[in-house]
Structure 1
Amino acid sequence: MHVVNVILAGGASRRFGEPKASHMYQGKPLYEHVKEQLLEGQTVIISHPSLLPFFKARGEQSVWLDDEEVRGCGPLAGIYTAMQKQEAEWYLVMACDMPFIRKETAEVLSSYCSEHADAIIPLVQGRLQPLSALYHRRSLPFIRACLKENQFAVKDLLQKLQVRIVSEEELNVTSNEFRNINKRSDLPENGMI
């Protein structure tokens, strides 16, 4: 199974006050906490233009801006761009603001990939986690259709796909593993989750 890891780091981070991907936490930027927990293989970063120098300075090779025709259209644009630019069977999509995700969780999630599913989505604390999920390449036409119809919410896409929902019990997740960092106060001072 050929998987490309996709880190979504193109958001405006308005509530956070600075780009979350580059925020230093426990000696490294938030995106690196995420990157270290992804599956084996290539990782691409979908970035905001202002972060390109930061990623270049950190030696990141595969950093792309959203495709021009969908720039500014949210996470779906990032997923679309990754699928357009990099051929793979599956794409593990991960938001850059989830530093507590574990490699074991990504591995378990990938074990649910099959020919019967277009997307593998965790369900944690009663909420779907579509920005910590796997998408098969066959979902690309549906993503393109959503973007053309100005349906930018990932939930709109999921209604068009064959989705395999994976419960937190199946994933054996830790309590805060899927916590998004939206404000600085969401990051524990001592690093404990």
Structure 2
Amino acid sequence: MTPAAGPLEASAVVLGGGRGRRMGGNKLFLAVDGVLLLERVLRRLVPLFPEIVLAVGPEDEEPLRRRLPSLSSARPVAVAVDAVSGLGPLQGLTSALKALRGDWAFVVGCDMPWIQEAVVRSLWQAREAGSDVLCASVDGYLEPLHAFYRRTCLPFAEAALASGDRRLKAFYGDVRVTVVAEAAFRCLPGYRRSFQGINTPSELNRLTDLP
């Protein structure tokens, strides 16, 4: 069955890319041919979600806000700023969940420009009444940075942070995780690319096949 069209009843959350040591700079501000990597990510998300939230560290808030007016996004973009810098993606998730207008967030990194609409919609369709997380399994591994999180995850994510565990999956044992098997995506051409990020300068320079 083909997933239904139209915006999903969820927000999109894009997590800032940290210091990007291998990339030579913060991934939030990396560009190819004058186009920010972040803008390429937003182009994929805007048709799918009524709200876009960027979760960034305190040091990146002002540089990002200066660039927001130039981003060609058809949706308003909100900025959620981490209370503490340098605590990784779990801190970004907690900041974003606090800022949401609704109950669900699709969370990705700012270095994931190949997000596939059909993959996202298939993941969303797998939610159940008690789901707190919708997470795909690819090659036998969970993909926490291309997943849906419900606001109900917030206290458990905060508790994991307080304990010193900064992994996105740190609180999975405390909530109901609906795992979507890879078989659900195999009929979708190029589904693996949806989960891929940009990790090296050479990968960044090969972004010639994107619209």
Q: How does 1:18-167 map to 2 (within 5 A)?
A: 18-25=25-32, 27-38=34-45, 39-48=48-57, 49-50=59-60, 52-59=62-69, 61-66=77-82, 68=83, 70-167=84-181
* Of 4-13 and 129-138, the range deviating more from structure 2: 4-13
Structure 1 unmatched ranges of 5 or more = none
1:8 to 7, 12, 15: 15
In 1, Cα distance between equivalents of 2:21 and 2:30: 13
Show the counterpart of 2:4. none
SS of the equivalent of 1:83 reads helix
Distance 1:17 1:64 in 2: 24
Paired position in structure 1 for 2:3: none
Question: Structure 2 vs 1, CA of residues 83 and 123 (structure 1 numbering), >3 Å: closer, same or farther?
Answer: same
What is the RMSD computed on CA atoms of the aligned residues?
2.2
Unaligned 5+ runs, structure 2: 1-7, 72-76
Q: Deviations over 1:3-53 (max 9, x none)?
A: 111000141111111111221135521112222222221101012323632
- Per-residue deviation at 1:72? 2.1
| Distance change >3 Å, CA 160–CA 22, structure 1 → 2 | same
**Matched residues in 2 for 1:98 and 1:144: separation?**
25
Confirm or deny: 8 A CA contact 1:37 1:106 kept in the other structure.
Answer: no
Aligned length: 191
8 Å CA contact retained: 2:17, 2:111: no
Sequence identity (%): 29
Measured against aligned partners, the alpha-carbon deviations of 1:93-127 in whole angstroms (never above 9, x if no partner) come to 01111111112222221112222211001122332
What is the TM-score when the length of structure 1 is the normalising length? Answer: 0.87
TM-score normalised by length of structure 2: 0.80
Shift of 1:177: 2.7
